[in-house]
Amino acid sequence: MGRVRKMVNEIAYTPLIWSSRVEGGGGLSELSTIQLSLIPLLSLTSFLYKIILSLRHHLYRFRLLPTHSVGNLSWGGNGKTPMVEFIAHCFLHSGISPLILTRGYGCADEAKMLQRHFHATSARIGVGANRAAIATSFLQNYSYTHHRLSSQHIVPSVPNSSTIGVVILDDGMQHLHLGRDVDIVMVNGMMPWGNRKLLPLGPLREPLTALTRANIVVVHHADLMLEQEIEVLELTIRENNKAAPIYYAKMTPSHLFSVGKVSCELPLAAIHNRTIFCLSAIGCADSFARSIEQLRPRCVDRMDFNDHHVFRSEDVEKIMLRLQELLVKFGSEPIVIVTEKDYDRDPKMFRNLEPFEVLVLCSKLQIVSRAGCTDEQFKKCIKQLLKAF
């Protein structure tokens, strides 16, 4: 199943045009025979998905279904959960307790990571597919405090950290039956739209015209993009939404910790001039590997799995084999680096990689200053949008 998902993912991010290998144009000529044979079936499924999606939107539009977020238009690697965490901390710093609603995909690795990060705070984490029911349950248990918005900051009308002051919906762009005041759409700048086709032929959950519903658009991994790529991406966004402000974000590494020693922070310099093996099962493995390369290791090797992949014994065997090869090649033991998301999925699994050292890279989302769009401007924009409701 993992191999099929990988092949479909490669199709989704390949232009569906014929081009010469000699010219280096990529396209359909880069796909295998098996992948080419899958395209007709994927195209039909994508067409049916488009019909169902259109019908669903019309039902909500005309209120034939009840209308009771941070989201994205394409699958994986868009920075939704880091942005949710960033916004939640902004509210916490203003004395407001957020309720974060997350679906809990796979082994709920993102939910586990959020629960660990917010363990000592007043933030609440609700996990499950029926987020409307979960929100209702939390609001009944902890109650809700209304907040008035001053010209400078958000002020709790009744200071009480035990009550919920704001609800943040993780991955909520397509969650139409749950009402919200602000929609923030995350775009992965490293691979924004793929072949621009809907699932499963392409990576899009909705057509790009869905950008019209965005109140704010955030281009993630902006630090890993060329200026020309940013300009082209901005043009596409503006073709579909002329009003929403565009902000830019990146993941900034903060520290490392050893498996099982979360509270013991290690400096990033710990991997300087060392042989590094990047192991990940996330939506955008390239961004993870490139962030490691910027920490000045001796060399970087990597092994990527599908997003939310659960590591099994056969995976451990493949990983150990690669590590032994690196040991022989460079004459020193490589250090395995994993993401927090991979660690929280199954912390015990990484103990199977002994005697090799396994470190977890911790990173935080940061708003990148560009064209007057700064961190403070982003927070002010959210405040102004909430002030309208």
131, 139 Cβ separation under 8 angstroms: no
Architecture of domain 252-363: 3-Layer(aba) Sandwich (3.40)
Q: Could you give the CA distance from residue 236 to residue 248 in angstroms, rounded to a whole number?
A: 15
For 71, 210, 252, 351, 354, the CA distances from 79, given in Å and listed in that order, are 9, 18, 12, 28, 31
Q: How much is the mean pLDDT over the chain?
A: 89
Annotated domain spans of the chain: 2-61, 70-245+373-387, 252-363
**What are the strands of the beta sheet with 216-220, ordered from one edge?**
70-72, 184-188, 216-220, 246-258, 358-368, 335-339, 275-280, 299-304
Tokens for 168? Answer: 């943040």
Whether a cis peptide bond, with omega within 30° of 0, leads into 355 is yes
State the fold for domain 70-245+373-387: Rossmann fold (3.40.50)
What are 148's strand-pairing partners?
A: 155
* Distant-in-sequence, close-in-space partners of 308: CB < 8 Å, separation ≥ 6: 105, 106, 107, 109, 281, 345
Give pLDDT tens digits for 212-258.
999 999 999 999 999 999 999 999 999 999 999 999 999 999 999 99
What are 42's strand-pairing partners?
A: none
Provide the 10 A C-beta neighbour count for residue 50: 17
Mean predicted confidence (pLDDT) in 94-103:
91
Same fold, 70-245+373-387 and 252-363: yes
pLDDT of residue 23: 43
- Tokens 């004395």 identify what position? 95
Give pLDDT tens digits for 355-372.
999 999 999 999 999 988
pLDDT of 341 over the 70 cut: yes
Give pLDDT tens digits for 37-47.
999 999 999 98
pLDDT of residue 22: 41
Q: Could you give the CA distance from residue 208 to residue 18 in angstroms, rounded to a whole number?
A: 24
pLDDT of 197 over the 70 cut: yes
